């Protein structure tokens, strides 16, 4: 049985790019709605010295790691106060040196975060900070949900949530998060029932999964509708469907296990990197609890 999704602390990795600042505002807004606290994290490498305006590789200040940390902390504090005043949220700041994805994952565990919110297309120093493989590395390594925010995702809040359901073993594991967010934002959930032509038995199992999701949403008094989508390119189908229903949040599963379903690998990566609106990626219950797919199969209630 999966515990209800709760958000008591949000981790926001920030590199001071415009996209990471936008992700920061989304995180602050979520904190206000959920009553959460905010943990700001900046990860730098020694060579990435131009994280702040007017700093260059020859700037005296960057020769001292303590000075660099102090300057970054000051910048983050200014930004933190801005959103703290706007959304009335508490925050703290941490600056670490090392590999971006690794430090994000370790920090999330150390501070016991319930959610990571991060930008997908930030630029920092001599490298792309959270774009592409870096953001996806966090998504696929995190044991907690990760909300990725794109460059143009300026709207705060979620009116229409896109919930893709496929035939993979843990496709329903994300329903708990969908329900919690829908209740918090009074959202409508749009179920994308993603299927291809299967044999009759597989079709029956798939229909049952979709019906159980619908019944659970009814039980929680969440407004919803379902559309059945046939095709092979599941990622493109999901992205197109999200635009059609004016979705402002898409919830998917990560690929931490070797599923035979659709929303895995390059499919999930394409959704994370090409969605025009935020994407919430959820880790399968089996990965979190260490059970096999057989153990969590038909007898498991993911809600």
CA Rg, the chain, in Å? 20
Tell me, yes or no, whether 76 lies in a domain. Answer: yes
pTM: 0.83
Calculate the alpha carbon distances from 62 to 54, 59, 132 in Å. Answer: 11, 6, 28
Give the domain-ending residue among 126, 149, 172: 149
Q: Which residues contact 224 (CB under 8 A, 6 or more apart)?
A: 188, 189, 190, 191, 214, 217, 218
Residue 252 lies in domain: 160-289
As given in the structure block, the two tokens for residue 47 are 């060579």
Residue 131 and residue 165 share a domain: no
Q: How many domains does the chain have?
A: 2
Residue 158's Cβ-count burial label (10 Å; 0-12, 13-18, 19+) is: buried
- What does the pLDDT look like over 35-75, one tens digit per residue? 999 999 998 876 544 455 444 444 555 556 677 788 888 88
Distance from C-alpha of 172 to C-alpha of 75, rounded to nearest angstrom: 41
Tell me, yes or no, whether 115 lies in a domain. Answer: yes
Residue 142 and residue 183 share a domain: no
Residue 100 and residue 65 share a domain: yes
For residue 293, what pLDDT is reported?
37
Tell me, yes or no, whether 277 lies in a domain. Answer: yes
**Residue 226, number of CB atoms within 10 A of its CB:** 16
Give the domain-ending residue among 149, 182, 204: 149
- What does the pLDDT look like over 96-110, one tens digit per residue? 988 888 999 999 999
- What does the pLDDT look like over 103-137, one tens digit per residue? 999 999 999 999 999 988 644 443 444 444 567 77
Residues 8/114, Cβ–Cβ less than 8 Å: yes
Distance from C-alpha of 124 to C-alpha of 52, rounded to nearest angstrom: 9
For residue 234, what pLDDT is reported?
85
Distance from C-alpha of 214 to C-alpha of 114, rounded to nearest angstrom: 26
| pLDDT of 184 above 90 | yes
Give the domain-ending residue among 120, 149, 178: 149
| pLDDT of 169 above 70 | yes
CATH number at residue 81: 3.40.50.620
φ/ψ of 265, rounded to 5, equals: 50, -130
Residue 102 and residue 36 share a domain: yes
């Amino acid at each position: 049985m999966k515990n209800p999704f709760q958000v008591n602390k949000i981790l926001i990795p920030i590199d001071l790019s415009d996209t990471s600042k936008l992700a920061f505002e989304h995180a602050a807004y979520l904190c206000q709605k959920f009553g959460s606290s905010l943990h700001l994290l900046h990860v730098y490498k020694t060579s990435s010295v131009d994280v702040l305006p007017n700093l260059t590789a020859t700037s005296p200040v960057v020769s001292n790691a303590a000075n660099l940390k102090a300057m970054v902390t000051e910048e983050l504090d200014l930004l933190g106060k801005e959103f703290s005043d706007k959304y009335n949220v508490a925050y703290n700041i941490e600056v670490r040196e090392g590999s971006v994805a690794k430090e994000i994952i370790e920090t999330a565990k150390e501070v016991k975060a319930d959610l990571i919110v991060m930008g997908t297309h930030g630029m920092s120093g001599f490298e792309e900070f959270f774009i592409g493989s870096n953001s996806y590395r966090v998504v696929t390594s995190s044991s907690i949900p990760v909300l990725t925010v794109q460059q143009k995702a300026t709207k705060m809040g979620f009116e229409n949530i896109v919930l893709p359901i496929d035939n993979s073993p843990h496709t329903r594991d994300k329903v708990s998060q969908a329900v919690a967010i829908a209740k918090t934002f009074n959202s409508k959930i749009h179920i994308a029932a993603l299927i291809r032509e299967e044999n009759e038995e597989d079709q029956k199992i798939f229909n049952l999964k979709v019906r159980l999701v619908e019944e659970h949403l009814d039980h929680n008094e969440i407004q919803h509708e379902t559309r059945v989508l046939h095709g092979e390119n599941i990622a493109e189908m999901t992205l197109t469907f999200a635009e059609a229903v004016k979705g402002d949040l898409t919830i998917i599963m990560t690929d931490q296990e070797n599923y035979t379903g659709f929303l895995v690998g390059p499919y999930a990566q394409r959704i994370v990197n090409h969605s025009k609106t935020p994407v919430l990626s959820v880790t399968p219950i089996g990965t979190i609890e260490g059970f096999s797919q057989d153990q969590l199969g038909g007898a498991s209630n993911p809600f």
